[in-house]
Amino acid sequence: MSSKSPFELMMEQAQAMAKSFPAMEAFSPKGFDKLWPTMPKELMEAWFGNAVNENGLDAKTRLMLTLAGMTMQGAQNEIGLRQTVRHLVELEATDQQVYEAIGMMSMFAGLPASTRAMEIARDVLEDGKDTEE
């Protein structure tokens, strides 16, 4: 009988399966977020803003909180973080505001998490500038 847990055995099997697909070894999530379009500002305000709750948070603030939460989780969801930054840009958040939201989380999430989130955000923000030119 194996001394490995069922989870370890399942992970070994999944790794063996992934090796049988050559494309899986080279898979990168970078650019995967672009498969989903960015919502227009007006739509985000209507759905996620304070259209229903007049005294509630606007869509930009909600997305800043989402960015902070994703940073706190160690920036593990790269695709979600990239989409959040893209939507913040659509809502006219400045680069400085995005960087400050992530930087603030470094006190709580630690430097590795905030550094990773900052790298992802910078990549998205610089990519957006390349497409504008």
Digit-coded pLDDT (tens) for 52-76: 778 888 999 999 999 999 999 999 9
> Per-residue confidence at 29, pLDDT binned at 50, 70, 90?
low
d(C-alpha 105, C-alpha 100), whole Å: 9
73 inside domain: yes
What lies within 8 Å, CB to CB, of 32 at 6+ separation is: 79
Asked whether 109 and 74 are in contact (CB, 8 A), the reply is yes
44 inside domain: yes
Domain that holds residue 107: 29-132
14 inside domain: no
Give the pTM: 0.71
We report the CATH number of the domain holding residue 49 as: 1.20.1290
51 inside domain: yes
9 inside domain: no
5 inside domain: no
Question: Number of structural domains, the chain?
Answer: 1
41 inside domain: yes
- pLDDT score of 2: 66
Top-confidence residue, 132 or 6: 6
Rg, C-alpha atoms of the chain: 19
d(C-alpha 127, C-alpha 108), whole Å: 28
- pLDDT score of 13: 87
d(C-alpha 103, C-alpha 71), whole Å: 9
Determine which of 35-44, 94-103, 112-121 has the lowest per-residue pLDDT on average.
35-44
- pLDDT score of 40: 84
Q: Give the mean model confidence (pLDDT) for residues 89-96.
A: 95
12 inside domain: no
